[in-house]
Amino acid sequence: MKEALNIFKSLFKGREDIYATRWEKGTKNGYSPAYTFDPYSYKMHRMKGGTFQNYTNKQYQTLSDAGKDYDLAFGWSDDKIYCSELVWKIYQRATGIEVGKIQKLKEFDLSNDAVKQKMKERYGNNIPMNETVISPGAIFDSELLMTVKSQ
């Protein structure tokens, strides 16, 4: 399990303890950590010339806020859960809609030499190529979703 975690951590750089939300502003878009904060306090901070970046009265939202431990190994179970798995399962279980294409690890391009090396390092010869995964990109590319608000 730790080997799987280390491989994914080496392939997908980012924080493990928090999740991201998508943003759009004009022609720009991207992902930022999800936060909780007092909107009134933040408005006062902005009125004084502050920015969200230097606003200190905010807290990261973690996947454990949703009642699950974060799945560092990206396994397909309900014991622990990773961010795109949480989104996919909420849609599927609440509405029956499958937002994004579920894939097997073997369907990803793992041909890069650095990726091969990390996979070999972490799994040896037992790479779980049939592990079910849902990627953030697969959800984002889903034709079932639309932009509700764009700034």
Backbone angles phi, psi at 25, to 5 degrees: -145, 110
Token couple for 61: 């939202």
Query: 85 lies in which domain range?
Result: 1-14+67-151
To the nearest 10°, report the CA torsion of 120, 85, 142, 96: 140
What's the domain count of the chain?
A: 2
pTM: 0.52
Q: Which of the four pLDDT bands, split at 50, 70 and 90, describes residue 36?
A: confident
**φ, ψ at 7 (rounded to 5°):** -65, -50
User: Are residues 33 and 5 part of one domain?
Assistant: no
Q: Are residues 1 and 41 in the same domain?
A: no
- Predicted local confidence at residue 100, as pLDDT: 93
Residues ≥6 apart with Cβ < 8 Å to 29: 22, 23
Greater model confidence, 39 or 2 = 39
* pLDDT (0 to 100) of residue 33: 74
Separation between Cα atoms, residue 92 and residue 11, nearest integer Å? 27
According to the model, what pLDDT value does residue 149 have?
Answer: 74
Tell me how far apart the alpha carbons of residues 31 and 23 are, in angstroms, rounded to a whole number: 6
Whose tokens are 């909420």? That residue is: 90
Could you give the CA distance from residue 94 to residue 104 in angstroms, rounded to a whole number? Answer: 23
Return the CATH number at 9: 3.90.1720.10
Is the domain of 80 the same as that of 134? yes
Do 4 and 54 share a domain, yes or no?
no
